[in-house]
């Protein structure tokens, strides 16, 4: 099992450019999440999905869109990148939303917007 994978690992964008981050999991998990991690802060939830075809906003959704067309994939899009979106992005998945099920994290994508 590969677990949770993220593509790409690193990216540099110019202000106004767009890009899509891909998250894939092979554990048949229903729940998937996108977080961002900024220096001196913990991870904050951007968007999440409770199943194929469903998405919802998290704590910091502005400037991002997501799609979950297939159960195993969760895409995070930046339509017009801004320097404030410079961050490390983590995807995570979980079998259940219930307390006892851990979230499995991908390796992260380091994004720099100049």
Partner 1 sequence: AQKITQTQPGMFVQEKEAVTLDCTYDTSDPSYGLFWYKQPSSGEMIFLIYQGSYDQQNATEGRYSLNFQKARKSANLVISASQLGDSAMYFCAMRPYGGSQGNLIFGKGTKLSVKP
- Under rule CB under 8 A, which residues in 28-67 are in contact with partner 1? 31, 33, 40-45, 48, 50, 56, 58
Q: Counting every residue, how long is the chain?
A: 114
CA distances from 74 to 39, 54, 103 (A): 24, 10, 15
97 binds partner 1 (CB under 8 A): yes
Quickly tell me which residue has 């990148």 as its tokens. 81
24 binds partner 1 (CB under 8 A): no
User: What's the CA gap between 44 and 86, in Å, rounded?
Assistant: 14
| Cα torsion 8, 34, 96, 51: sign | negative
96 binds partner 1 (CB under 8 A): yes
20 binds partner 1 (CB under 8 A): no
Residue ranges that bind partner 1, judged by CB under 8 A: 31, 33, 40-45, 48, 50, 56, 58, 88, 90, 92, 94, 96-100, 102-105, 107-108, 110
């Amino acid at each position: 099992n590969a677990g949770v994978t993220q593509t790409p690992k690193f990216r540099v964008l110019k202000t106004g450019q767009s890009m899509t981050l891909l998250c894939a999991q092979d554990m048949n998990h229903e729940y998937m999440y996108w977080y961002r991690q900024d220096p001196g802060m913990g991870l904050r939830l951007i968007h999440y999905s409770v199943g194929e075809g469903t998405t919802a906003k998290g704590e910091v959704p502005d400037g991002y869109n997501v799609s979950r067309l297939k159960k195993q994939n969760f895409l995070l899009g930046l339509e017009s990148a801004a320097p404030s979106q410079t961050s490390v992005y983590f995807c995570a998945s979980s079998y259940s939303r219930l307390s006892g099920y851990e979230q499995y994290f991908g390796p992260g994508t380091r994004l720099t917007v100049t």
